[in-house]
Amino acid sequence: MSKAVEVFSLFSDFDISLFRSGKHFRLYEKFGSQTVFIDGRQGVYFAVWAPNAKKISVIGNFNGWNPYVHELYVRWDDSGIWEGVIFNIGIGEVYKYRIETYAGDILEKSDPFALSMEVPPKTASVVSTTWYQWQDDKWMRNRHERNRLDRPMSIYELHLGSWIRDPNNPDRLLTYREIAEKLVPYVKSLGFTHVEFMPLAEHPYYPSWGYQITGYFAATSRYGTPQELMYLVEQLHKNEIGVILDWVPSHFPGDAHGLYRFDGSALYEHEDMRKGFHPDWKSYIFNYGRNEVRSFLISNALFWLDRYHIDGLRVDAVASMLYLDYSRNEGEWIPNEFGGRENLESVHFLKEFNEAVYANYPDVQTIAEESTSWPGVSKPTYDGGLGFGMKWMMGWMHDTLGYFKADPIHRKYEHGQLTFAFIYAYDEHFMLPLSHDEVVYGKQSLINKMHGDEWQKFANLRALYLFMYTFSGTKLIFMGGEFGQLSEWNVNQSLDWHLMAFPPHKGLFHYMKNLNTVYRDQPALYEKSFSPEGFEWLELNDAENSVLAYIRKGHDRNNDLVVIINLTPVVRDGYRVGVPEEGNWEIIFNSDEMDYFGTGMTIGNIKSEPIHWMYKNNSVKLTLPPLGGLILKLTN
């Protein structure tokens, strides 16, 4: 007579050795609920790490949630892994782990490695699969060309549940497949090279935006199945659009069914709350010094790259990971072994994470959301860095938005906010972000951060985008910014798509489409994005007129561009600008076109004159449009 749970293991001795030493980065192939066929019988193999548990059983609909029917076996090797096979169940079964602790507590936990979970607020795990017949081979073969640091990268950041909803039922979230039918052609028409999804791992609290995760390996079931998410990724890839995913290894929530005190002890977190509790988010910090926890997290990173064909990971809240005293007062944190504030265990983890990602998937990118002056975030680990591919340029974002909020009358006193970033622009591989964090919680939408009346607001925003796209670094814009969403981002409702019927918003949308086209088509804007050789100031000190002028350079001097931006509503007649070569200079982009809701001022082609200006032997005389910018290129 067979037992209710039969002894079986997917773990070799080598697997266990790697796991316990923190070097197993494919744990999702072993842990969780895995369908198996043994001697012609179908079953599900369960494996869970809970070294401090006294007893663990699998409970679910299949056994009436009876904790005494399907008890798992603890391995003999002190690894803390409990496992076993239950036959005659399969895909779709709902389950939890019932854990009895040595203290006598009874816990009911979701599976940390579950591939799917019930739709919140339900919290059980679901036996699932990530099998999918992918049809994005062409993209996967060639994406190294799309993801290189000398290629254009303009990213459209979005939250799936509030990008668009069912017009007939605004409370209904669309499925991944339904979103794909609308999102893919939209992003393609705008010319963005990548999308960035805010976290899609399962999270119990929807207003957390996905940053409070309980199911690290489970794509949120709010929008459908794992295969439906794969379809969305595949359709983006088929249209030559890369996919970046927000990843959250910094903290997790204290929900009773999640990772918190998983086996009755601080298993994934720290026992001491001076190290283990995050005061800002009321969440719990991973114990990066524990080998098994590092294996869990790095396996999770590789999981999304492997099973979902994700092209990059934007790592959330890196600053909070690097400093032991982050958001803490004196006496609320514990110094490291050298008496410093640096979290050395976290530093080791981040380096190991980046090394593992690039060793296994050299054609993807990792991006750090890091707001401090920590050195070498985007330098290789062999050169003493953390190993990220890129870092968000938070200083540029805050300074630039501060400048554009100012009345143009006073901008001559704020001029340094735009030029200061150049001092450190090449210290890292920077991405210029205008992210979700800047359009929520009373910060106003991007368009309403701009100074002036309606015309000036839109002109200012167009000028900001021109400055952003012609400055060094890659680009990121949050959804709604492309058409001038008026209200702040609200996670509980769709974007205000009706605004697209109005000329200013329609004009801004058309502007973004053309700006992305220029960015992609002009090598000078991306070939040397992270090198000072790709940027040269022509005029950075004209604070009195609030004018900036600079050259962007690629590998071929014939592709050089001259950019001039006038940041006041005053037309500048006869403004002379030095140019690197003599000849006819064509205006290839003008932010003041009537199609963009601008004035439509005609400027035409400009022939250089042999007048020495701005340290150049040749120069051109221009009429600068109000709150507008021009991109010039030599035509002969």
Query: What amino acid is encoded at 374 in this protein?
Result: W
271 is catalytic: no
- In 430-482, the DSSP E strands lie at 430-434, 474-478
How is the beta sheet containing 584-590 ordered, strand by strand? 535-539, 547-552, 561-566, 628-634, 584-590, 606-607
Q: H or E element: which one contains 459?
A: helix 454-470
Q: H or E element: which one contains 160?
A: helix 160-163
Per 3-state DSSP, what percentage of the chain is helix, strand, and coil (rounded to 5)?
30, 25, 45
316 is catalytic: yes
- Residue 49: alpha-carbon gap to chain centroid: 29
Long-range CB contacts for residues 517-521, cutoff 8 Å, separation at least 24 = 517/191, 518/469, 518/588, 518/589, 518/631, 519/152, 519/154, 519/191, 519/469, 519/475, 520/152, 520/154, 520/191, 520/193
| Residue of 246, 316, 414, 438 marked active site | 316
Q: Answer whether 426's CB lies under 8 Å from 531's CB.
A: yes
Q: Tokens 């991944």 label which residue? A: 176
Q: Tell me if residue 573 falls in helix, strand or coil.
A: strand
Query: What amino acid is encoded at 288 in this protein?
Result: Y
Buried b (16+ CB within 10 A) or exposed e, 545-576: bbbbbbbbbbeeeebbbbbbbbbbbebbeebe
Q: Which of 234, 222, 231 is nearest to 159 (CA)?
A: 222
Query: What amino acid is encoded at 90 in this protein?
Result: G
Query: What amino acid is encoded at 154 in this protein?
Result: S
Q: What are phi and psi of 209, to 5 degrees?
A: 65, 5
Buried b (16+ CB within 10 A) or exposed e, 188-217: eebbbbbbbbbbbbbbbebebbbbbbbbbb
d(CA 598, CA 628): 9
d(CA 154, CA 191): 8
Cβ neighbours of residue 189 closer than 8 Å, sequence gap 6 or more: 513
| Residue of 71, 369, 527, 592 marked active site | 369
Cβ neighbours of residue 491 closer than 8 Å, sequence gap 6 or more: 159, 161, 162, 206, 207, 209
Q: Which residues pair with 94 in a beta bridge?
A: 126
Sequential DSSP letters for 20-32: HTT----GGGTSE
Residue 54 CA: distances (Å) to CA of 3, 82, 101, 326: 20, 10, 5, 36
Which positions are annotated as active-site residues? Answer: 316, 369
